Amino acid sequence: MQANVSDRNVADDVHGLADRPDGQTLLLSDDLAGRALGGAVTSVRRLTGGASQESWYIQVDAADAFVLRRTPPGDVMDRGGGIAMQTEAAVIRAVGDHGVPVPEVVHVLEPSDELGCGFIMRHVGGEALGHRIVRADSFADVRPRLAAQCGDILARLHAVPLDILPPLPRRGPAEAVAELHAQLRASGEARPVFEAALAWLHTHCPDRTPLGVVHGDFRNGNLLVDKNGVAAVLDWEGCHIGDPAADLGWLCMPIWRFGRLDLPVGGFGRRADLLAAYAARRSLVDAARLRFWEIHGMLRWGLTCMAMTAAFLAGDRSIERAAVGRRTSEAELELLFALTGGAD
C-alpha cells in the first residue's frame, strides 16, 4: 500500500487560492445548484491543488460559498491508497455529528451530475497555511490555545463509535510497520538510516493498542484556523481504523513545525497542553507509544519523499517532485535525532 502522496501533503509551501490560467471551467447545472446549493451559481474558480484531484470555489447568489472536491469524469483516481471520495464524505458527516469541527458536506456527487466523483462542502473561512498559523500576528492570541483544542478535537474523534462510520481500512501498529517495511523493500534502495529506523520500529512496536477512527493526516497544514481557533479539520482521505495515538504522534512531528522546533505541536504549542486536553476528555497516552508513532511518522514521511524521487526518475519530471525528493535527507536527520535520544 502506498503512502499518501497527494501533492498537497508533500508540497513545501502549499499555495492558497489562485486562478488557473488555462481558463478551465466547471459545468455545474442550474438544477444541481438550486437543489444542492440553494441558489444560482454566480462565480466559479479553480483552487490550486493536486493533479488528479480538483478543488473548486463556488459562489452562489453572490453570497454563499462552497467548495467542490472531485476527480473529474473519466480521470483515473489516484488517492495514494486513501479512501474513496464518497467514503470521505460519509466520514466527514459522521464525525461532524459527534462534535468534530468539519466543513458541512451539502452534496455527494452522483453519476447523473456528470461532474465525476466527489462532494461539495460549505466553505469555511480561515487560514490553512501552516507557516501563517505559526507566524502571523493575527493569530498571536489564538496560538497558545491551539494545542489544547487539537487535543480536545482528537479526543472527540477517537471516541466516534465505529458502527456509524462507513467501512474503513484497518491498520494497527503491526500493519503500519509492515507497510513501511514493504515500501522500503519494494524501492530496492540502500538506506542505512531508514533501515535503522525500521529495525527500531519492529523492536518497539506496541502489541495491543485500542482501536479507533484515526484521521491519518492530522497536522498543521490540514487545520483551518480562525480567530477562535480550529474552525475545521480538513483532508480526511487518510482516515482509517487504527491506534488513535498515531494522530497525536503525527501532529507532533518536527517537519510541520514551520521553523518552531521549540513548539512540538504544530509549531504552535506544547505536548503537555495537547495531552492534558486529550486526557481530560479521553485518556492518558504513554510516552513510549507516542514516541513509536512519531518515529513511524517520520519514516513514513521519508519514504513518501523517496517515492517522489522514484516518480520523477520514472518520467514525471515536475520540479515539485524533484524538490521533495531531495528532502528525503531531512527525514533521515530527524530519524537519526530521534533514534539517538534527541527529544523536544
Interface residue list for another protein (CB under 8 A): 12-13, 15, 18-19, 21, 48, 190-196, 198-199, 254, 257, 259, 261, 319-320, 322-323, 326-327, 329-330, 332-334, 336-337, 339-340
- Nearer to another protein by Cβ, of 119 and 292: the residue is 292
- Nearer to another protein by Cβ, of 22 and 163: the residue is 22
* Shortest spacing between CB 145 and another protein, in angstroms: 24
Q: Report the C-alpha gap between 61 and 43 in whole angstroms.
A: 9
CA neighbours within 13 Å on the CB side: how many for 179? 20
Identify any residues that bridge with 170 across adjacent strands, giving them in sequence order: 241
Q: Distance of CA 166 to CAs 86, 99, 160, 191, Å?
A: 10, 18, 12, 38
Say how many Å lie between the first and final Cα of the chain, rounded: 31
* Shortest spacing between CB 328 and another protein, in angstroms: 8
Question: How many C-beta atoms surround the C-beta of residue 197 within 10 A?
Answer: 26
* Shortest spacing between CB 288 and another protein, in angstroms: 17
Strands 240-242 and 212-214: antiparallel
- Nearer to another protein by Cβ, of 42 and 329: the residue is 329
Tell me, what amino acid is at 279? Answer: A
* Shortest spacing between CB 259 and another protein, in angstroms: 5
- Nearer to another protein by Cβ, of 261 and 280: the residue is 261
* Shortest spacing between CB 171 and another protein, in angstroms: 23
- Nearer to another protein by Cβ, of 187 and 283: the residue is 187
CA neighbours within 13 Å on the CB side: how many for 326? 6
For 149-217, give the DSSP string.
Answer: HHHHHHHHHHTS-GGGSPP--EE-HHHHHHHHHHHHHHHT---HHHHHHHHHHHHH--S----EEE-S-
* Shortest spacing between CB 180 and another protein, in angstroms: 13
Tell me, what amino acid is at 52? Answer: S
Rounded to the nearest 10°, the torsion over CA 16, 17, 23, 27 is: 120
* Shortest spacing between CB 9 and another protein, in angstroms: 16
Q: Which residues of 34-61 are buried (b: 16+ CB within 10 A; e: fewer)?
A: eebbeeebeebebbbbbeebbbbbbbbe
- Nearer to another protein by Cβ, of 16 and 161: the residue is 16
* Shortest spacing between CB 201 and another protein, in angstroms: 12
* Shortest spacing between CB 264 and another protein, in angstroms: 12
- Nearer to another protein by Cβ, of 18 and 272: the residue is 18
- Nearer to another protein by Cβ, of 22 and 137: the residue is 22
- Nearer to another protein by Cβ, of 134 and 155: the residue is 134
Tell me, what amino acid is at 301? Answer: W
Q: Report the C-alpha gap between 237 and 206 in whole angstroms.
A: 25
